[in-house]
């Protein structure tokens, strides 16, 4: 599948059918996302002059300028903005069509690289990778793409992926499922005073430095909302971009990490409560309702939900014995 025809557009001498080269659409998307011809050419591994010629030819074919050319970063025109949405969708559909050819005659996906999940890095590490290790022989998942929670479903579209997992809900019109909520843990070394407790109230942690994620992370927003509800603030916030480094600080005794991640570095995770309720983060799966493998994706999401339910009690590890 090397080209695709768009519906006729009307020119000065009648209708004109636009035939698009999918390879050129890849060049266009790469340049638009990279912000320059040079960077886009590096992405697709084609010389910059060749990419420039192809894009000029695409503009002539479409009868519209796609870029505002001048000094500084390359900017999309209004037509370019609209074309970027179309190009990403066409490339995703082309990828889906190719993957259909990897299905057997009964419609069952083979174990070759079929499905790609987009998710935050912690989800790939703490959920997807362990699930593959446990059930990989029976699952079609092969690859994953890291994204911030708020951009997961945009990345599913732009990267031609198949399934998104995020603490942010998918857009309207997608197939979706609410997965089991993820508990918030106060993660501390095993010799910390709260390490032997079954749970801890957020109010009891406010005298210690609280190691939290920045506000792109839903766990941080849950913490902020809980603090607002009790009208209190901690003695000190240590704000981090990396949950792994946040755990490293907690293991070094630099504070209590409030995270939803699986514990590392021999930390103990103690469930956090506030005003009698456990702090939890919502978790969602979302995929294109028209995806060629929608039934298999629904089945896969069922397995993800089952695996989440089985693993949640162990995210905080076992408590040390008295």
Specify the CATH number for the domain of residue 192: 3.40.190.10
Q: What is the mean pLDDT of residues 109-113?
A: 41
pLDDT, tens only, 39-80:
888 887 778 888 888 888 888 888 889 988 776 678 899 998
* In-domain check, residue 49: yes
Both 137 and 154 in one domain: the answer is yes
Both 263 and 305 in one domain: the answer is no
Where is average pLDDT lowest: 59-73, 95-109, 230-244, 269-283? Answer: 95-109
* In-domain check, residue 296: yes
Among 67, 100, 133, give the residue marking a domain's end.
100
Is the pLDDT at 25 greater than 90? The verdict is no
The larger pLDDT score, comparing residue 254 to residue 160, is at: 254
- pLDDT in the model for residue 160: 77
Both 231 and 169 in one domain: the answer is no
- pLDDT in the model for residue 189: 95
* In-domain check, residue 321: no
* In-domain check, residue 129: yes
Among 100, 123, 150, give the residue marking a domain's end.
100
pLDDT band for 26, please (50, 70, 90 cuts): confident
Buried/exposed 62-72: b ≥16 CB within 10 Å, e otherwise: beeebbeeeee
Both 166 and 211 in one domain: the answer is no
Domain containing residue 13: CATH number: 1.10.10.10
* In-domain check, residue 105: no
Both 157 and 214 in one domain: the answer is no
Both 289 and 142 in one domain: the answer is yes
Both 38 and 50 in one domain: the answer is yes
Supply the range of the domain harboring residue 143.
115-181+282-314
Both 164 and 301 in one domain: the answer is yes
Is the pLDDT at 263 greater than 50? The verdict is yes
Both 41 and 171 in one domain: the answer is no
* In-domain check, residue 16: yes
* In-domain check, residue 226: yes
Both 287 and 236 in one domain: the answer is no
Is the pLDDT at 217 greater than 70? The verdict is yes
Is the pLDDT at 313 greater than 80? The verdict is no
Domain count across the chain:
3
* In-domain check, residue 88: yes
pTM assigned to the model: 0.62
- 259's tokens: 């995270």
Both 192 and 271 in one domain: the answer is yes
Cβ(210)–Cβ(203) under 8 Å?
no
Cβ(290)–Cβ(97) under 8 Å?
no
Both 221 and 271 in one domain: the answer is yes
- pLDDT in the model for residue 58: 87
């Amino acid at each position: 599948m090397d080209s695709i025809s768009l519906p006729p557009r009307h020119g000065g001498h009648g209708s004109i059918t636009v035939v698009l080269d999918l390879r050129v659409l890849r060049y266009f998307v790469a340049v638009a996302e990279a912000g320059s011809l040079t960077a886009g050419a590096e992405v697709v591994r084609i010389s910059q002059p060749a990419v420039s010629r192809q894009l000029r030819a695409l503009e002539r074919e479409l009868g519209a300028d796609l870029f505002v050319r001048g000094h500084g970063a390359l900017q999309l025109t209004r037509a370019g903005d609209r074309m970027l949405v179309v190009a990403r969708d066409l490339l995703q559909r082309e990828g889906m069509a190719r993957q259909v050819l990897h299905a057997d005659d009964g419609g069952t996906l083979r174990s070759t690289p079929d499905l790609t999940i987009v998710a935050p890095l912690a989800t790939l590490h703490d959920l997807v990778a362990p699930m593959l290790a446990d059930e990989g022989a029976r699952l079609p998942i092969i690859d994953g793409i890291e994204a911030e929670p708020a951009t997961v479903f945009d990345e599913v579209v732009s990267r031609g992926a198949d399934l998104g997992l995020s603490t942010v809900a998918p857009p309207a019109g997608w197939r979706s499922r609410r997965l089991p909520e993820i508990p918030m843990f106060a993660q501390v070394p095993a010799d910390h005073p709260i390490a032997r407790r079954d749970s801890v109230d957020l109010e009891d942690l406010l005298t210690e430095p609280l190691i939290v994620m920045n506000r792109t992370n839903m766990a941080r927003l849950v913490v902020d909302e809980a603090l607002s509800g009790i009208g209190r603030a901690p003695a000190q916030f240590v704000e981090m971009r990396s949950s792994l480094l946040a755990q490293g600080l907690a293991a070094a005794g630099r504070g209590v990490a409030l995270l939803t991640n699986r514990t590392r570095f021999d930390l103990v995770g103690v469930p956090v409560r506030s005003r009698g309720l456990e702090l939890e983060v919502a978790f969602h799966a979302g995929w294109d309702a028209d995806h060629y493998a929608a039934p298999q994706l629904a089945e896969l999401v069922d397995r993800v939900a089952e695996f989440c339910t089985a693993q949640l009690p162990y995210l905080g590890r076992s408590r040390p014995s008295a």
